[in-house]
Structure 1
Amino acid sequence: MSDGIVTQPRRDLTKYLMLLAISLFWGLNWPAVKTILSQVPPLTLRAVGFTLGAVIILTLTRLSGRSLAIPRRDWPSLVAAGVCNVLVFNLCTAFAQLGMATSRAAVIAFTMPVWATLLAIPVLKEWPRRQQIAGLVCGMAGLAVLLGPNGLQQGFGPGLMLIAAVSWAIGTIVMKRHVWGGAVMAVTGWQYVISAIPMVILASLLETPPDPATFPLPVWVAISWHLLLSLCAAQVLWFVVVSRVSVGQAAVSTLLIPVVGVSGSVLLLGDTLTPTLVIALALILTGVACVLLPARKR
């Protein structure tokens, strides 16, 4: 009995520490990518990141004893999910940060659950509850506050971030709709492979490789954070967490990510924490919480 009492709090503490690590790794990845882009072209950054992610995740999958094979029926959905979740999302977020503040980009990206809820109506026939409808209203209100009266006339950044958020939502719907026969880590690794191939080709044709010898120390720190902690460690930790907690708990835990992203952008990049940004972030977080949190049982 005493062993069980001691073990359970330790398990809970480990779970919460992993969730905190994921939020820090993915949240601070926003200012890290912005820092890297000051020295590394966006196509080259994504080509290197996708390639490294594919190698590490597939290697870990193999070392864990899982098969790398993907059933033939899974490939159409795998390609669609990879293009939406990895290729389009990461490509749009990289180019968007060249044209807008990172803090604003992180907030727009996190409207994804709102778009996913809307897309689930025609695709999955999942009609939102009153709580989710309230969340959709809050999310759209936050987006309207952030964009302001000029909307998408603020350059290419906000438009690309909206495309990224919607693409992420579509990829999420694809992942949820399909019944996968292959291992989840293998599916994720092959999505990186699919995304890496066009990025490597485009980067070699359109961009000049930067000289790493000229990189200042902050850029090297950002590269290490992006490639090792965000792209690899956080992804593996996410698989572990999802296997230990409910989907609802895992989803709600992601609410910390945009808060960390905005805070990191303000502290590390000097982004201005305006009242508009704070109000928009609060509205969108409220909307996402309404969408993700389960309804109260009567």
Structure 2
Amino acid sequence: MKIAAEGMPVFVYRFISAFGASIFMLIVTKATGHSLALPRRLWRPILLVAFFNGFTFLFLSALGLLILPSGHAAVMAYTMPLWAFLISIPVLHERPQAMQWIGLALGMAAIAVLLIDSLHGEDNAVTGIFVMGGAAVCWATGTIIVKKVDWQQPMSLIVTWQFLLGSLPFGLLMLKDLPGLEWPPTDVVLAVVYTVVLALGFGFWAWFKIVEMVPASVASLSVLAIPAIGVASGGFILGEVIGMTEIIALALLLGALATVVLPKPQ
């Protein structure tokens, strides 16, 4: 995704990503024999999900990838379960236990490690931390909405409408970038295809299915390995340095998520 974000204007990239993912999931929805119509009662929640997941999360995460190394960006993006935990208290009326508050403290410590390191790095790195943190909050908010609403519709349809509606603002914002736009290199094209089919299309469908089927705390287990993959792939594919800062922040984040999602002793 970082390759794609750096290889073309950000609004063009995100329009292609969101609109392409919506078309991909539309085909999946039709192929599985479901209608594309959305009941009127679901328009308000789908607009909220589209705003938080289909537009704001994609916009902020793309900006964060442009500013931060991919490892830092992955660690910040996957603080999402921690924010979902906080949002679930007033929205889902969950009552957090002591270990969950400890987990929140560990997660904040991971962010602090990255912030302190960023103060001695690039001038705009701190901005990138807050931008990617904002993306995580938006993703968490969208996840809580998905969990709260009784959709009674296939998740492929929800993902279709989420990205179709979310792509509309990007379509307007990218107009200024169209003059002089050239066909991108092959690696950028492949990165965009990966984003459309796997990261957004299949990825959000799988995530929503998990959120639909199991409690949110259990669903969070499915994202524990992703920051580690992001840090490792940034080193192997992009040649980014994996230092003690990334390792410490990742360890704190994994510890935080473990305290949130692991069941209480019986």
Measured after TM superposition, the shift of residue 85 of structure 1 is 1.5
Residue identity matched to 2:174: A
* Residue aligning to 2:258: 289
Matching residue of 2:96: 128
How far the C-alpha of 1:71 sits from its partner, in A, is: 1.6
The residue that corresponds to 1:224 in the other structure is: 193
Query: CA, structure 1 residues 171+237, in 2 after alignment: closer, same or farther (shift >3 Å)?
Result: closer
Q: Which residue of 1 aligns with 2:127?
A: 156
| Deviation (angstroms), 1:237 | 5.0
Name the amino acid aligned to 1:172.
T
For 2:85 and 2:58, how far apart are their aligned partners in 1?
Answer: 21
Match of 1:196 in 2: 167
The 8 Å contact of residues 67 and 183 in structure 1, kept in 2 or not, is answered as no
Q: Give the structure 2 partner of residue 265 of structure 1.
A: 234
Residue 276 of structure 1: CA displacement? 1.3
SS class of match (2:67): coil
Distance 1:182 1:245 in 2: 16
Counterpart for residue 26 of structure 1: none
Stretch moving more, 167-176 or 245-254:
245-254
Q: Which entry has the higher C-alpha Rg, 1 or 2?
A: 1
TM-aligned CA deviation for residue 91 of structure 1: 0.6
In the alignment of these two chains, the number of paired residues is 263
Provide the residue aligned with 2:77 in structure 1: 109
Report if aligned partners of 1:70, 1:181 keep a CA contact under 8 Å in 2: no
- Cα distance in 2 for partners of 1:241, 1:127 equals 22
Structure 1 residues 140 and 248, CA gap change in structure 2 (3 angstroms): closer
Q: Distance in 2 between matches of 1:241 and 1:120?
A: 17
Per the TM alignment, residue 205 of structure 1 is displaced from its structure 2 partner at its CA by: 3.3
Shift of 1:203: 0.7
CA pair 164-240 structure 1, distance change in 2 beyond 3 A: closer
Normalized against structure 2, the TM-score is what?
0.89
> Match of 2:2, as an amino acid?
K
Q: Is the Cα contact below 8 Å between 1:58 and 1:68 reproduced in 2?
A: yes
Deviation at 1:67, TM superposition (A): 2.2
* Contact 1:74 1:181 (C-alpha < 8 Å) held by counterparts: no
Residue 145 of structure 2 is aligned to residue 177 of structure 1: no
- Partners of 1:237 and 1:176 lie apart in 2 by 14
Counterpart-to-counterpart distance in 2, 1:172 and 1:272? 32
Answer whether contact 2:25 2:160 (CA < 8 A) is retained. yes
What is the root-mean-square deviation in Å for CA atoms of aligned residues?
2.5
Selected match of 2:42 from 56, 74, 78? 74
Tell me if structure 1 keeps the 8 A contact 2:15–2:174. yes
Change (3 A) 1:113 1:223: same
Normalised to the residue count of structure 1, the TM-score between the two structures is 0.80
**Preserved contact between residue 231 and residue 246 of structure 2 (Cα < 8 Å):** no
TM-superposed deviation, 1:181: 3.4
Output one character per residue of 1:27-73: Cα deviation in whole Å (capped at 9) or x when no partner.
xxxxxx21122321110001011111111112211221122222211
Alignment check: 8 A CA contact 2:87 2:141 kept: yes
